Structure 1
Amino acid sequence: MENNLQNSQNGMAHLFDRGDVFSDKCPSRDILKHVTSRWGVLVLFALKDGETHRFSELRRKISGVSEKMLAQTLQALELDGFVLRTSYPVVPPHVEYSLTTLGLEVAVRVASLADWIEDNLTDILAQQSRSETLVS
């Protein structure tokens, strides 16, 4: 089974020397969706320090995310190779999440965007206010 999966992945890698997010057939679109979703950005941003976090810690840190959405986001980012899920065989179950090397790379880029938004929030909000006034 593993050889079939590995051959399948290697076969896909040969099809794509580089992704093309403008192509509706390129898998990079799904990866982009996972990384740039509201919760994807926040998970990557929360884990960017390189430390491991338990599910409940992440949920507290990312205010407003439901358990379901956090679980789905972590699973998608894990499947993409950005998040490492470590499960310890103890009772009660103990699971920790951290970023892989690839995850740290993408987190740095996402964090830059989040930082830029925070740095420019006043100007953005002022523009939104002006736009709302024009529409009214």
Structure 2
Amino acid sequence: MSTSDTDPRLGVQVVHRRYVSRSDVRYAGDLVNGAYALAGFGDAVTELAIRTDGDEGLLAGYRAVEFHAPIRAGDVVEFSATVTRVRTRSRTVALVCSVLCRAEPDRGVTAARPLDPAVVAVTAEATVVVPPPS
């Protein structure tokens, strides 16, 4: 059963930002693994569930995970989670991980620059399950 299209939870968004450190690197070229983005999505979805339903909920699954660009050490990434569907006990959430800043090691050890526009690195959709209304 779906709730009304006017549900106030529709369109609610949470944004998290994170610096990608060297300790996050798993592969040559200073690349992190795909699970890095999924962990960031999980944190954003948890906050979103708290804000919309007063409970952390349970992440039931991801769909349509797509990797568009690499995430590297020295990046500043942003994870956004937006409620796109509200059902009685579940929420569908659109997820985007964007790279906002990127290290430039060729210019110097600590050199970096903001990206304009940001680069979309990963997109996905998630389902979070929340307790029944009381």
Length-normalised TM-score, structure 2? 0.24
Larger radius of gyration between Structure 1 and Structure 2 = 1
Q: Which has the higher contact order (CA 8 A, sep 6+)?
A: 2
Which structure has greater strand proportion?
A: 2
Which structure has greater helix proportion?
A: 1
